[in-house]
Amino acid sequence: MMAYGAKRREQPSERSRKYSDSEPFANPPRVSEAMKADRSVPTDLLWLSLAAVVIRLPAVLSTRHLSFDDGVYGATAVAMRHGARPYRDVFSSQGPLHHSLLYVADLLGGRTLDAPRLLSLVAAVVITIAVYLVARRVASRRAGVIAAVLATTSGSVFLVTTGISGDGPAIALAASAVAVAFAYRERPSTARAVSVGLLVGAACSVKLLAAPVVVPVALALLARRRTRDVVSAAVVAVAVPLVLAAPWGYSRVWDQSVRYHHEARRYSVGEAVWRMLTTLVERDTIVVATAVVVVAIALLARVRWAAPDEPRLWRAGTALGAWLVVQVGFLLTESAMWRPHVSELIVPIALLAALRLPSTRVLLITWVIAIPIFLAGTWGFAKPGGYDGVDAQVAARLRALPAHAVVITDEPGFAWRAGLQVPDRLVDVSVKQFDQGRITEPDLLRAARARDACAVLATSDERLGRFHDLPDRLADAGYRTVLRDGDTRLLERDCRN
């Protein structure tokens, strides 16, 4: 290792001239040991972390729910405050670690209205730091800063790290695993290998969609040819989900967090590909535009993406590219690939782009062109503030209900932001729950007849709205329609006693 470092130091002038800012690619060679002693690292991390928090605060403190998942997990946190257990009382479509992290975040946030979103905010900071460390290690300080900014401002990542989601924490843990694995590549140790295993296992225990992170991590560990370390990391990575699932019951965890996601395809592969591409263009315009420019210039300049002295097994570009390809394939296996899932692609894309960034002038021109499209595609969910239109009317009526009121709804975010509960069994009301018959009309009627149930809110013809005779049946239980606008229908009954 010392010889490798010495070889790098022998040719600084030649390397610096080769990658000068006047060339198509302005990154200096990869840095390694010098990074640890560089005082700019903590300074960069401080400012990047601060920026990640500041740009998210308006959305995190927004009085409305930011997405369907934000509402589901906000309502889930409230249910757990009152003793509901994951997989038993509350349907849990994520891995066994997710709800535990959500519970801790809610507790640390003082169990206030916005407390559960603390998990997303922490995930945003961790993603920013991890991306910076990886890009800086394999490229340069400039690449680290730019890659971190691209990742943290990505529309897809922004959405899952402001509103509550499983994707945000999973991405944070996966990116951290890559950062530690790349550090292991330079200075191997059993402790680092075990840490990598813990992080990979934790990422998969939050969301199984993060599993492709195994690819770059495995390549980094295998490159050092230390069999004991590789075995240790693999054993730990497998053991973590098994240990975390044990308290909830393996059959329940498997049914809700794995089998549930692979029953009855809702979208064809072609439809999923189209959703993926349109999401990347609309929400992640700056990241995609940067990557496209990098690839285009690399092809024109015929630049090598890996130094010739790198071992074939270990090439950062190959490892990150393989991660991206496998991650795309993994997403397409989902029976219903929702647009927030595209956030899983952003970190590998940003890191790949950082390997061979063009000059600052080229980057600025690219971003100026991309920003208007980016803002048009993200402003709807990124802007702060409260509800408007019919949503504001719904929110006002729910806030007027008694504090003990329970709301049956296919959009739990309205109940959560009004400070009300939803039935534990109906906290997660995703379309697939209805498609698979896990939530039926009798379930809804039973919940609506409960003593504390005061309102039924339908917002989608794919969820509650699919039961066309539900309003008539609710009328027999004393409910009457108080608001109707398009697919939105709110029914209430007197329950003030």
User: Is the per-residue pLDDT at 289 higher than 90?
Assistant: yes
pLDDT band at 1 (very low <50, low <70, confident <90, very high): very low
Do the domain assignments include residue 84? no
> Do 370 and 404 fall within a single domain?
no
Give me the mean pLDDT over the 270-283 stretch: 93
> Do 303 and 210 fall within a single domain?
yes
Backbone angles phi, psi at 456, to 5 degrees: -125, 125
> Do 424 and 324 fall within a single domain?
no
> Do 404 and 372 fall within a single domain?
no
Give the pLDDT confidence score for residue 497 in this predicted structure: 58
Do the domain assignments include residue 2? no
Condensed to tens digits (0 to 9), the pLDDT of residues 203-214 reads 999 999 999 999
- Adjacency order of strands within the sheet including 406-409: 406-409, 453-458, 488-492, 480-485
Do the domain assignments include residue 326? yes
Condensed to tens digits (0 to 9), the pLDDT of residues 160-213 reads 999 999 999 999 999 999 999 999 998 999 999 999 999 999 999 999 999 999
The Cα 80–Cα 90 span in angstroms is 8
pLDDT band at 413 (very low <50, low <70, confident <90, very high): very high
Tokens 């560990």 sit on residue: 221
Residue 457 is given by DSSP the state E
409 by DSSP, 3-state: which?
strand
Alpha helices by DSSP H, listed for 284-403, are: 285-301, 316-332, 346-355, 360-382, 389-399
Percent of the chain with pLDDT over 70: 89
> Do 195 and 296 fall within a single domain?
yes
pLDDT band at 262 (very low <50, low <70, confident <90, very high): confident
User: Is the per-residue pLDDT at 19 higher than 80?
Assistant: no
Last residue of a domain, one of 382, 415, 433: 382
Give the pLDDT confidence score for residue 210 in this predicted structure: 96
Q: Helix 214-222 to helix 316-332 angle, to the nearest 10 degrees?
A: 150
Give the pLDDT confidence score for residue 301 in this predicted structure: 74
Nearest CA among 178, 192, 170, 185 for reference residue 135: 178
Are 473 and 458 within 8 A, CB to CB?
Answer: no
Give me the mean pLDDT over the 286-290 stretch: 96
Largest Cα–Cα separation, the chain:
85
Give the pLDDT confidence score for residue 309 in this predicted structure: 58
Condensed to tens digits (0 to 9), the pLDDT of residues 75-118 reads 999 999 999 999 999 999 999 999 999 999 999 999 999 999 99
> Do 158 and 286 fall within a single domain?
yes
Q: What is the DSSP annotation of 232-301?
A: HHHHHHHHHHHHHHGGG-HHHHHHHHTGGGGSS-SS-HHHHHHHHHHHHHHHSHHHHHHHHHHHHHHHHH
User: Is the per-residue pLDDT at 403 higher than 60?
Assistant: yes
Condensed to tens digits (0 to 9), the pLDDT of residues 344-356 reads 999 999 999 999 8
Give me the mean pLDDT over the 135-153 stretch: 95
pLDDT band at 312 (very low <50, low <70, confident <90, very high): low
> Do 354 and 414 fall within a single domain?
no
CA atoms within 13 A on the CB side of 344: 32
Last residue of a domain, one of 382, 417, 439: 382
* Tokens read off for 14: 């030649």
Report the 10 Å Cβ neighbour count for 39.
7
β-pairing, 453-458 vs 488-492, is antiparallel
Condensed to tens digits (0 to 9), the pLDDT of residues 421-454 reads 999 999 999 999 999 999 999 999 999 999 999 9
> Do 326 and 364 fall within a single domain?
yes
